[in-house]
Amino acid sequence: QGQLVESGGDSVQSGGSLRLSCVVSGYTISNRCMGWFRQGPGKEREGVASVHRDGSSSYADSVKGRFTVSRDNAKNTLYLQMNSLKPEDTAMYYCVDSAPWRAGCNLAASRYDTWGQGTQVTVSS
């Protein structure tokens, strides 16, 4: 069983930027679909971004053009660069990964097998 540890969450003003990191231990991420989810206060969990083992990515409409997901397989680390942050981005952000045998890569929560503990992002207006 692997362990996913997120960091980089903080409190920022609207329009600001943050970079989240997720360090994975226990196995290599190079052959896994990886992603980020979030859950804001009083909101349902939402898939934010995913990145396939081949580097292709997908995003929720609410973050397209503002967020960028990337992976460094050599460092076994996943990143989420968040720009032009809005108050509605306030949430706990979770790093997730998918078992290597699963085909494809998308924002469906059911496809992810391991979740981190989360890192809090708060955006004030």
Average pLDDT of the segment spanning 17-34: 97
Average pLDDT of the segment spanning 69-84: 98
Q: Percentage of residues in the chain with pLDDT exceeding 70?
A: 100
55-58: list long-range contacts, CB under 8 Å, 24+ apart: 56/105, 58/105, 58/106, 58/107
The torsion region of residue 104 among left (phi > 0), alpha (psi -120 to 50) and beta comes to: left
Average pLDDT of the segment spanning 26-54: 96
Of 11, 18, 22, nearest to 120 (Cα)?
A: 11
Average pLDDT of the segment spanning 19-29: 97
* pLDDT over 90 at 59, yes or no: yes
Average pLDDT of the segment spanning 24-47: 97
Asked if residue 78 lies in contact with residue 69, where contact means CB atoms within 8 angstroms, the answer is yes
